[in-house]
Structure 1
Amino acid sequence: MVLRRLLQTLLNNPRLIEKLSETRPIRRAAQITAYAIARLQLGGLEAADRLSRSSTLRQIREHAEMPRSLGELSKRAAQLKDTFVKEVKEGMKESSGQKK
């Protein structure tokens, strides 16, 4: 109980927080956090851009209406599968090219 009260008093002290924020470890932790957030945002934007250019997504949008027959459904599913497999292979080629 006493330890909790002491910790609460220290953490609510503006001078102490200001002094801690000026220390090297705290500044470095803030830099690393800001860097990680920026990298994640860039990665998310790139993924959204790739998805918007994806022919699989375009194909899903084009064929969003309900098929009239079972044959039409199987034809659409096969087209979607082929497009998806093609894009996965292209993505794997791109990612292996980036690693080298």
Structure 2
Amino acid sequence: MVLRRLLLAMLNNHQLLDRLAEARPIRAAARLTATALTRGLRLRDNFLRELKEEAERAKVSSWSNERGGKDKGRRP
């Protein structure tokens, strides 16, 4: 209970928050977080783009197989 009040009082102190924000470890942690987030978003975008391309290739190849003949791809 006392610890909670102490933490809330510290978080409401703007001078303390400014000092913490300018501290080297906090800036480094923020930089790492931003880098990880940016890298993750870039990986997600690349993955989705590749997935769409692969789906389009599969769609086109399935259409060409259907037009090529009914026995194509079947075992005798």
Same fold (TM over 0.5): yes
Residue matched to 2:42: 42
What is the distance in 1 between the residues matched to 2:29 and 2:8?
A: 22
What is the distance in 2 between the residues matched to 1:3 and 1:50?
A: 50
What is the distance in 2 between the residues matched to 1:3 and 1:49?
A: 49
Matched AA of 1:34: A
Q: Percent identity?
A: 39
- Deviation of 1:29 (Å): 0.2
TM-score when normalising by structure 2 = 0.70
Residue matched to 1:97: none
In structure 2, stretches of 5+ residues that fail to align are 64-69
TM-score when normalising by structure 1 = 0.55
| RMSD of aligned residue pairs (Cα, Å) | 2.1
- Report the number of matched residues: 62
Larger Rg: 2
With a CA cutoff of 8 Å and minimum separation of 6, indicate the structure with the bigger relative contact order.
Answer: 1
Residues 1-100 of structure 1 mapped to structure 2, 5 A cutoff: 1-54=1-54, 55-56=57-58, 58=59
Runs of 4+ in 1 over 3 A off after TM superposition: none
